[in-house]
Amino acid sequence: MSRIVVGMSGGVDSSVAALLLKEAGHEVIGVFMKNWDEKDANGVCTAETDYADVRQVCDHLDIPYYTVNFEKEYYDRVFSYFLEEYRKGRTPNPDVLCNREIKFRAFLDYAMDAGADAVATGHFCRLGKDVDGSVQLLRGVDPGKDQSYFLYMLGQAALSRAVFPVGHMTKAEVRKRAEAAGLVTSGKKDSTGVCFIGERRFKPFLKQFLPASPGNMVTPEGRVVGRHEGLMYYTLGQRRGLGIGGAGNGERWFVLAKDMARNELIVTQGGDHPLLYSRTCEGEGLTFIRGEAPAAEFDCTCKYRYRQPDQAVHVSVSGNRCLVRAVESQRAVTPGQSMVFYQGEVCLGGAVTDKVLDAGACPVPQREGCL
C-alpha cells in the first residue's frame, strides 16, 4: 500500500482518480490547491465552490482532505510569465507552465514533505517504461481528452512520482464510474479557461493588469481598414471580434500578424489566405521527457496547438532551441504557443514557438519585428 496525495480540483476526473486509488487499497489523501483568490465574471468565487465539492467527495470516500495555498507561487511562476508574453504580443499557454511549476513542483514538494510516495491527478494521460528504464509519458486512451500536450515540460523526477489513474479510461467511462459511486461531481461541467483562474471575459480581465494600447488594423499593402483595442487581445488566425465592416466582397477578415513597433494589427480577407500558412518555425525552451533529444535531427509528429491532429515534421536540435519543418503547410502557427512532439503514443517533449520563418512571418514588405 502506498500513500498517495491526490490533487483534487473539485471536478469529476480528480474525484474518480481518488476513488480508484482508494479502491486499489492505497492510503489516499485529498489536497485542494488554492492558487487564485478572485471572483469570476459572474461574481462567483469558483475556488470556494470547487472546494465544497472536494469536501463532499472526500467525505463520501472517507479520506482526509486538506487545502494548500500556492497563490504567491502561481503569480510569481505562472501568471507573471502569462502577462509578460502578452506584453510581447505573443499568445501564451499558461496551463503548460502551471503543470510544471505548480502541480508537479510546488504541489509535489508539498506532498513529498507530507510523506507521500506519489502524487496523483485527474489528467488523461498514461505512464510507460522505455527500454532503458526511463519513464515515458503516453497519450491518454481517449483521443478527444488526451492531456499529454499540457505535460510535455515534465521530466523524469516529476513523472517518476506521478500517478494518472484515469488515463486508461474515456471521459464517458469516468462520468459513468463517478455516477455509479454516487459522487457529487459526476455531472459537473468540465472546467475551461486559464489554469486555476477559470472562465473570464478575456479583454476586461487582461485590462486589469495590462494597459490597452489601441492602433490601426492594416492590410498587407498598408491600407487602414479599422482600429484594434490593443495587440494583446488578438491572436494569429483569429476571425471573431475584429469588427471590420464594409468588406465589399463579403469575405471575412483574419489576423495575419502583429507589427509591435508600429502597434498595427495586420489583417486580410479569407481564411485560406496564403500568408496565413507556413512550414518552418523556431522553438525555444526545448525540453524532453527523458532529458535528452532522440537525436540531433529526427522525424516525428507535432501538435502546434492542443486538439490539432498530428502533423509530420522534421526537428533539428540546437541546445534549448529547435528548428521545425513541417511536411505540409501549417495554418496560423503562433508565437507563444507550445509545439509538442510525439512518436506514436509516446510524448517526446516540446518547445514554445518563437519565430515563424516563412510565409506569414512578416507579410508587410520592408518591415521587421512582426509576430
pLDDT tens-digit series, residues 183-237? 999 998 887 555 545 555 677 888 888 888 999 999 998 999 999 999 999 999 9
Is pLDDT larger for residue 246 or for residue 203?
203
Enzyme catalytic residues: 98, 195
pLDDT tens-digit series, residues 18-50? 999 999 999 999 999 988 766 555 555 567 889
Q: What's the rounded Cα separation, in Å, for the pair 369 and 371? A: 7
Query: Average pLDDT, stretch 138-166?
Result: 97
Q: What's the rounded Cα separation, in Å, for the pair 100 and 23? A: 28
Model pLDDT, residue 196: 47
pTM of the model: 0.91
The fold adopted by the segment(s) 3-180 is Rossmann fold (3.40.50)
Strand partners, 341: 302, 349
Contact predicate 196/35, CB 8 Å: yes
pLDDT tens-digit series, residues 115-128? 999 999 999 999 99
Domains of the chain, residue spans: 3-180, 211-269, 277-361
- Helices first, then strands: H and E counts in the chain: 9, 17
The fold adopted by the segment(s) 277-361 is Elongation Factor Tu (Ef-tu); domain 3 (2.40.30)
Percent of the chain with pLDDT over 70: 89
Residue 64 CB partners (closer than 8 Å, separation 6+)? 29, 30, 58
Q: What's the rounded Cα separation, in Å, for the pair 161 and 126? A: 13
Q: What's the rounded Cα separation, in Å, for the pair 197 and 317? A: 34
Same fold, 3-180 and 277-361: no
Residue 319 CB partners (closer than 8 Å, separation 6+)? 286
Look up the CATH superfamily of 211-269. Adenine nucleotide alpha hydrolases-like domains (2.30.30.280)
